[in-house]
Amino acid sequence: MKNLVIIGASGHGKVIGDIAVRNGYEEIVFLDDNESLSECAGFLVAGRGDDFIRYPDRDFVVAIGNASVRQFYQEKLEAQNYRVVTLIHPQAVIGRRVEISPGTVVMAGAVINSDARIGKGCIVNTCSSIDHDCLIGDYVHVSVGAHVAGGVSIKDRTWIGAGAVVSNGVAICDDCMIGAGAVVVRDISVQGTYVGVPAKRNGHE
Q: Residue 98: in which H helix or E strand, if any? A: none
**Which residue in the list 12, 89, 132, 147 is annotated as catalytic?**
132
Is residue 131 within 8 A of residue 145, CB to CB? The reply is: no
Q: Phi then psi for 7, rounded to 5 degrees?
A: -95, 110
What does the alpha-carbon distance between residue 2 and residue 59 come to, in Å, rounded to a whole number? 8
Catalytic: 141? Answer: no
Write the Ramachandran bin of 29: left for phi over 0, alpha for psi from -120 to 50, otherwise beta.
beta
Is residue 81 within 8 A of residue 26, CB to CB? The reply is: no
Q: Is the dihedral of CA 89, 90, 91, 95 positive or negative?
A: positive
What are the catalytic residues?
132
